Chain A
């Protein structure tokens, strides 16, 4: 697992300086009902490469697999429509060298992605070099590309990095494909759920389990400044407490020395502080702990339940939910605890506010008339928009570019109490493109990482 978390990039070559690219552009601020036709040519590889990769990874044709990773990523955005490979008229190697644009225009492709995989041995170790090019079919020119050398096992991540590049180039937004999702994997009957921490690539591959399921674990969250570090809550020894785990070393430590239950943890944007709730003597307050100085400080002071805190991306504010008005509502305060202000005033109960990485919106869960909604509002509480309604869903988490929200949804059981399930779902900020996020087991409490470092 340790090895897999790394992508060793030896060479990263930008193939061509950026040129203006006005012909093909996608506006993702609205729901896109007319996806752009795109062709992802299988990446070309020579015989020696194929043999080496077969030996190393037991994959027959890595070039096709990489093109599938890219296709799958782009299609799931709802912005692109990948054209079937059977329709392609040009061979991968020739297309990568210089596409015959009229052949790609003929099958209605506006954009073409080509690439090449080559195995390399450096200092007696196996590497692969992956080259990719992005072509504007109508403009008949190459608009972007890069070449990257890495360990063979990291090939999927290269597919994600290519997807990010294409997405950035065509939408003008930063990508979110080279990311991971940490969540709680669930098994067993509803009354005796077994829960484990799990981590996977954003597209559902490479799932790893971090805990064994021997104790109850809840609400894992990435450190936005360090994707090798997470915080979560565990019932280890029947003492519900917040922990921090280093995913590389496996080192795990309880956060702070509190008498009472600590829960609802989240890192500050710079990763140097942790905010959480402390429940003691029937009252829950929000605390912050500086992870460098180990100084901890109480931020709220109210006999009501104050929990689910989340920092603004500049670290200056904290949003949280409190039932001080009688029911759960969303509040914003300065990060020192001053100037508490209620921002949610709509009908219903509001919880789990999470600040968008862009800073302009807060995602939340709302309960109204027996239904649960995931929605967003501006940070002053105006402009409330409900994105999705269901029997039960909560715990929104933002993609690092702030365009997508992932959350979990639970089903209603039947008359006999059977048929319970919990799954991850994602939805675009536009309210379109709601999708089941595939996981090996039932799943809840998702948290999306930042774009991965190397």
Chain B
């Protein structure tokens, strides 16, 4: 598991140099990295960890694809937030527009938008913050034509981190809202 993480992370350095859009899906990551570039990429990572961090965070918003799953093929399931913020970044809005487009085409699907916070806040405040984040995503989906009765929000606060690390990169992955199919 660790190795595959390293591979994925390492590949991100490469891919961010080449590709401008931040929404390369997991699938394409896997197909292109697996064998040939792995060794070289792993070396790069060792040599310059700071560069790696820069490539994965913009300000303190996570822009990588580790932990990102799919709501549907080619539709990322989550967006990331800055510390204590609920503002949607340009990349987040793009992801949510993709989600909205897919939901419009699949009108029988209902979703739960889960809101999450990192561990650097008090539990109760983080519950409220998670709810705010989930609603920011929900509101955007509604703006793009998904009716509100198809979207439930559920805040987990800091209770369900995806990354157990105690560092800025881990925290950035945990500040998120995730759109999950409910039916």
Query: Which residues does A use to contact B, with CB under 8 Å?
Result: 189-193, 216, 218-219, 238, 240, 261, 263-264, 277, 279, 281-284, 305, 307-308, 321, 323, 327-328, 351-352, 365, 367, 391-392, 394-395, 410, 412-413, 415-418, 420, 444-445
Contacts and interface: CB of A to CB of B under 8 A. Distances in A.
20 contacts: A190-B161, A191-B161, A192-B160, A216-B159, A218-B127, A218-B159, A261-B155, A263-B124, A263-B127, A264-B127, A281-B135, A305-B132, A307-B128, A323-B125, A351-B122, A367-B121, A392-B119, A395-B123, A413-B166, A444-B123
Interface string B119-140: 1111111011101101110010
B123 A445 contact: yes
Nearest to A308: B124
Nearest to B160: A191
A307 B134 CA distance: 18
B162 interface: yes
B56 to A, nearest CB: 16
B161 A282 contact: no
Contacts of B86: 282
B161 A392 contact: no
A413 B163 CA distance: 11
Interface of B: 2, 84, 86, 112, 119-125, 127-129, 131-132, 134-136, 139, 154-156, 159-166, 170
A420 B127 contact: no
A261 B122 contact: no
A74 to B, nearest CB: 33
Q: Which of B154, B162, B170 has the most CB of A within 10 A?
A: B154
A308 B157 CA distance: 14
B167 to A, nearest CB: 8
Chain B contact surface mostly: mixed
B159 to A, nearest CB: 6
A365 B122 contact: yes
A279 B127 contact: yes
B125 A279 contact: no
A209 to B, nearest CB: 19
Given A282-B132, A284-B131, A305 B125 contact: yes
A391 B119 CA distance: 11
A219 B165 contact: no
Given A240-B155, A261-B155, A394-B123, 11 more contacts: A189-B164, A190-B161, A190-B164, A193-B159, A261-B131, A264-B124, A279-B132, A284-B128, A305-B128, A352-B122, A391-B166
A219 B2 CA distance: 34
A189 B124 CA distance: 21
B119 A305 contact: no
B123 A240 contact: no
A425 B174 CA distance: 27
Contacts of B132: 279, 282-284, 305
Given A413-B165, A417-B163, A277 B128 contact: yes
B162 A240 contact: no
- Minimum-distance CB pairs A-B, first 3: A282-B135, A417-B164, A190-B164
